[in-house]
Chain A
Amino acid sequence: MYIEAAAGYLGVSVVLYAVFGGADFGAGMQEAFLGAHRRAEQRDVITEAMGPVWEANHIWLIIALVVLFNGFPRAFSTLSVAFHLPLIVMLLGIVLRGCSFTFRHYDTHKDQSHAVYSALFAAASFLTPFMLGVVAGGMMLGRVGAGGGYLERYVLPWASAFSAAVGLFVCALFAFLAAVYLVGETEDAELRGRFAGRAKVANGLSVGAGGLVFLAAQADGFPLVQRFLAHPASLACMVLATAALAPLWVALSKGRTSTARVLAASQVALVLGGWFALQYPVLIAASEPITLASAAAPDAVLRPLLYALIAGTVLVLPVLVFLLRVFKMRTPGHDG
């Protein structure tokens, strides 16, 4: 029971990281495609939208990490060894993204240096989610713990078509999420239209990348389709996520920003939920799979961890809601 509760908290924090932190990465990706027309204004919308919340959104990753190494230490150490290389690239992305965004905002001189900040910000915003996807793909594929040389132990677990496809899928999803959120961040009709248009493109790309994931799975000999068929909960998540596409497009076209936001966030949550259901109870597919039970710390650790998580959540949640209310519910005319 404690194991499931800790795993549940881990899952929720991953979902919240994707739904909030993922959108910040997606916003960075948008900057690569702003076009010449009203470029600076679009960039301002992105900066204003991310500025107050991105550091708080980022903390969900830390929380997930802490729950993982506290509650499921063997999963953390296995992950750290097999996915060392993609994880350090992800860390480079995290550092460069955060620093370039902050430097751009607070550098008192507005000169060419801002082009460097912006380029780094956009590039790092692709790099980090891509690597997260690569690691997630590797956690499913099951090439961890094969033994052998450097290549088999530290490269092949993640260097696969499947991992790359999951990486692209994550990028597309985050870009889509961000574009949907950004529609509600401005009252300028033209800019809203541009973000909505980009949301539709990114949505199309997400669907395409999702298809690519299935193709790559076939190429890597990973029976993803059969796995979905064998896990009704995963299948249900996928069907629901797909079914949400139609109302989402309607909401986007009619400018119902809150509805679109909720639908887009639910789609991302459903994709992750489907993944969790597909994996359960395995955390890392491997020659000897790391399951929740085999990775878990003893109850004497999990029980106090859960108390701490509950107490911490009770402390943080009201402040977090206050933050989001102050900055994200300010344009009553546009129900955003």
Chain B
Amino acid sequence: MPDLLVARVQMGLFLGFHIVFAAIGIAMPFLMAAAHARALRGNDSASRELTRAWSRGVAIFFAVGAVSGTVLAFELGLLWPRFMEHAGPIIGMPFSWEGFAFFVEAIALGLFLYGAERLKGWVHWASGVAVGISGVLSGMFVVCANAWMNHPAGFDWVDGQARNIDPWAAMFNRAALGQGVHMILAAFEATGFAVAGVHAFGLLRRPGSAFHRQALHIALAMGAVAAIVQPLSGDRLAKAAAEWQPAKFAAMESLFHTSRPAPILLGGIPDEGTQSVALGIEVPRLLSFLAHGDFDAEVAGLDRVPRDEWPPVAAVHLAFQVMVACGSILALAGVCVLLALWRRPQWLERRRVLWVFVLLSPLGFVALEAGWAVTEVGRQPWIIYGILRTADAVTPMPGLVYPFMLFTAMYGLLAAAVAWLMVRQFRHVH
């Protein structure tokens, strides 16, 4: 494998791994705090037990997220030294804030996990909430930097060098808020449904368990609200991509030819060579409306983009379809869940419904990974959109395949270890 490809796959592995732990680290403290608040209010052994169980989960996921995040911070330079040399000073601002948010998060976590006997009840509770809030901020700051890679701002590019750098303008680039909100919602959605699935399985094994019932309700409520709001955020981002990153948008939709009006493609396998799509269902005019709010609008296709600036179309299209499909299913499930929680909570404990939650549990994370692939792969061949190519940013060091194999083995083992720990944990609470 050529070194550039190895570097890209390795970065993909690092990010794809970290994003799961980071998302859980953002959302799970709020679950924990919700259970904790109940435990503090009443003498209810189920919520005390639940707080303990979820804190263990937060501790494990946070630790893996923290160390894999450290790896990422270094690997940005190790794999892409030219990128960091240019981008470091421009987007260092959100990274600095992320560092401090992460600091508060780590401190608050230490206070929460070890402070039960040393802190007053409400201070202890607040430290748990602080973990979640600083986790959200931390995630928002990191996404600011990623949004900048999609929408570079805050500098002038003169003769291959950044001039007139304005770190604030770079940080508050036009995509930062939209992308950040989408990521945070994804974290809540994915974590909510994943945790709900685990406890639905617990209820299947021990019907009527107060512990699992309470867990299921809290996790579902969080996941459902996020899943219902998420399509609105996604719609805004897609419209922004259509306007600002036409190549990415055209690849997402497999639109090879500029069309007026443009149909939307459901499914389908695009072929870059013949510039055609096999299979798939077309819905006339819908893409024009979704992209520009007008059923007759023109949508730019890949024919408007120089051939050497195309992202890998099939991968981006597939990832986008997977994300939208999973997101739609969860949004629908979210509406049903909220209605049930409001009128008929006992429905949620029917065996068939519980099995549905078990089946839904990975979908949020599938959507999260797919969505991340859309934004990263869809930006190729650029590492800084329109400014610096990924190929020009990679380290000159050859033989990247060996570190890649080493880290792949380690992360594989680590993922297996975490899964195994979770199974042991789950058996323990029974």
A interface vs B, CB < 8 Å? 51-53, 55-56, 58-59, 61-63, 65-67, 69-71, 73-74, 76-81, 84-85, 87-88, 91-92, 94-99, 101-103, 105-109, 150, 153-154, 297-298, 300-301, 304-305, 308-309, 312-313, 315-316, 319-320, 322-323, 326-327, 330
**Smallest CB gap from A317: residue in B:** B103
B interface vs A, CB < 8 Å? 56, 59-60, 62-64, 66-71, 73-78, 81-82, 84-86, 88-90, 92-93, 95-100, 102-104, 106-111, 113-115, 118-119, 164-168, 395-399, 403, 406-407, 410, 414, 417, 421, 424-425, 428
Contact B107 A99, beta carbon cutoff 8 Å:
no
Contact of B100 among A98, A107, A300, A312 (CB under 8 A): A312
User: In whole angstroms, how far apart are the Cα atoms of A312 and B101 in the complex?
Assistant: 8
Contact B399 A150, beta carbon cutoff 8 Å:
yes
Contact A150 B398, beta carbon cutoff 8 Å:
yes
User: In whole angstroms, how far apart are the Cα atoms of A77 and B113 in the complex?
Assistant: 37
Using Cβ atoms and an 8 Å threshold, which residues of chain B touch A313? 100
Most buried by A among B63, B118, B406: B63
User: In whole angstroms, how far apart are the Cα atoms of A98 and B67 in the complex?
Assistant: 7
9 A-B pairs with the lowest CB-CB distances in the bound complex, closest first: A70-B92, A80-B77, A312-B100, A297-B89, A102-B63, A69-B88, A77-B81, A108-B428, A52-B110
**Smallest CB gap from B98: residue in A:** A66
Using Cβ atoms and an 8 Å threshold, which residues of chain B touch A107? 421, 424
Contact A81 B395, beta carbon cutoff 8 Å:
yes
Using Cβ atoms and an 8 Å threshold, which residues of chain A touch B428? 108-109
Contact A56 B410, beta carbon cutoff 8 Å:
no
Nearest CB of chain B from residue A147's CB, rounded to whole Å: 12
Contact B88 A56, beta carbon cutoff 8 Å:
no
Most buried by B among A61, A73, A76, A98: A73
Contact B70 A61, beta carbon cutoff 8 Å:
yes
Using Cβ atoms and an 8 Å threshold, which residues of chain A touch B89? 70-71, 73, 297-298, 301
Using Cβ atoms and an 8 Å threshold, which residues of chain A touch B95? 66, 69-70
Given contacts A69-B88, A99-B417, contact A76 B77 (CB under 8 A): yes
Interface of B is mostly: helix
Interface of A is mostly: helix
Nearest CB of chain B from residue A190's CB, rounded to whole Å: 25
Using Cβ atoms and an 8 Å threshold, which residues of chain A touch B395? 80-81, 84
**Smallest CB gap from B91: residue in A:** A70
Using Cβ atoms and an 8 Å threshold, which residues of chain B touch A94? 67, 70-71
User: In whole angstroms, how far apart are the Cα atoms of A165 and B414 in the complex?
Assistant: 32
Contact A87 B99, beta carbon cutoff 8 Å:
no
